[in-house]
């Protein structure tokens, strides 16, 4: 039989779990809403409706709409960093590491399409104002360091690693940024997000990137 103290502790733990679960639901719904209209177009009322909460509850957890937006961005960057940290970035073969890194990046991008839209809105609406606040550059650092190492070893051609990193990321995400535009290059009705189409993009992007970087 639980003691009074145990019951209090159990109630406290349950409350913390419920609080975190609510925050996660809000962040998930906010991610979808920000992907539809960016910070300017998103409506906290819509987020509250989807999560069965209220604007007051959202602001209790995240202070205001801007705070919620930052939390969504911070979670996205943290999630991507965790994915990249699983890669052995110090492997002896820079080209093999680059291939794995790009494949991993492409898989993560295709699995979280909302983030691509949010990042596009961030550039258009806010001129990247919030990128600096969430240290987005940290996502590029592993790739830039890898390119530098490959150049030093002579396995990669001489290049500006910062420009190369930007172009590699661009080749990885452009397909998903411009789906509604580029779909006209294929026969009408082609499912641009089918497993087959995403795999084709993945293979083409990886091979073009590696070939373009190789010495």
| Residue (of 89, 121, 107) closest to 206 by Cα position | 107
Q: CA distances (Å), 122 to each of 35, 94, 136, in order? A: 10, 32, 12
Give the span between the Cα atoms of 82 and 78, in whole angstroms: 6
d(CA 68, CA 74): 10
In the numeric block, the tokens 């913390």 are attached to 16
Express each pLDDT in 163-201 by its tens digit: 999 999 999 999 999 999 999 999 999 999 999 999 999
pLDDT surpassing 60 at residue 41:
yes
Which tokens in the block code for residue 36?
Answer: 């539809």
Per DSSP, helices labelled H in the chain are 4-41, 44-51, 55-62, 65-85, 94-111, 113-126, 129-133, 137-153, 161-177, 179-182, 195-213
Q: Which two tokens stand for residue 156?
A: 């990669």
Gap between the Cα atoms of 173 and 198, Å rounded: 11
Residues 210/98, Cβ–Cβ less than 8 Å: yes
- Give the residues across from 31 on adjacent strands: none
Residue 10 in this model has a pLDDT that exceeds 80: no
Q: Domain 4-213 maps to which CATH number in 3.40.30.10, 1.10.150.120, 1.10.357.10, 1.10.340.70?
A: 1.10.357.10
Q: Say yes or no to pLDDT of 32 above 60.
A: yes
Please give the model's pTM, rounded to 2 decimal places: 0.84
Using CA atoms, how far apart are residues 129 and 148, in angstroms rounded to an integer? 28
- Which tens digit of pLDDT belongs to each residue from 74-124? 999 899 889 988 899 888 899 999 999 999 999 999 999 999 999 899 999
Taking the C-alpha atoms of residue 65 and residue 44, their distance in angstroms, rounded to an integer, is 7
Q: d(Cα 88, Cα 188) in Å, to the nearest integer?
A: 41
pLDDT at position 2 is 52
Q: Could you give the CA distance from residue 161 to residue 149 in angstroms, rounded to a whole number?
A: 10
Domain coordinates of the chain in residue numbers?
A: 4-213
Amino acid 164: pLDDT: 97
């Amino acid at each position: 039989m639980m003691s009074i103290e145990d019951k209090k502790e159990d109630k406290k733990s349950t409350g913390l779990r419920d609080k975190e679960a609510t925050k996660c639901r809000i962040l998930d719904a906010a991610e979808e809403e920000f992907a539809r209209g960016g910070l300017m177009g998103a409506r906290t009322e819509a987020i509250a409706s989807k999560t069965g909460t209220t604007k007051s509850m959202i602001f209790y957890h995240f202070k205001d709409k801007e705070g919620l937006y930052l939390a969504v961005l911070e979670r996205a960057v943290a999630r991507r960093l965790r994915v990249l940290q699983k890669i052995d970035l110090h492997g002896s073969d820079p080209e093999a590491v680059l291939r794995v890194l790009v494949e991993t990046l492409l898989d993560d991008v295709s699995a979280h399409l909302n983030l691509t839209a949010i990042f596009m809105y961030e550039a258009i609406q806010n001129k990247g104002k919030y990128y600096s606040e969430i240290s987005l550059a940290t996502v590029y650092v592993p790739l830039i360091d890898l390119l530098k190492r490959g150049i030093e070893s002579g396995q990669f051609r001489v290049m500006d690693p910062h420009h190369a990193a930007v172009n590699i990321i661009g080749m990885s995400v452009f397909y998903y940024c411009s789906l509604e535009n580029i779909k006209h290059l294929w026969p009408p009705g082609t499912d641009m997000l089918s497993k087959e189409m995403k795999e084709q993009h993945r293979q083409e992007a990886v091979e073009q990137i590696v070939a373009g970087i190789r010495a």
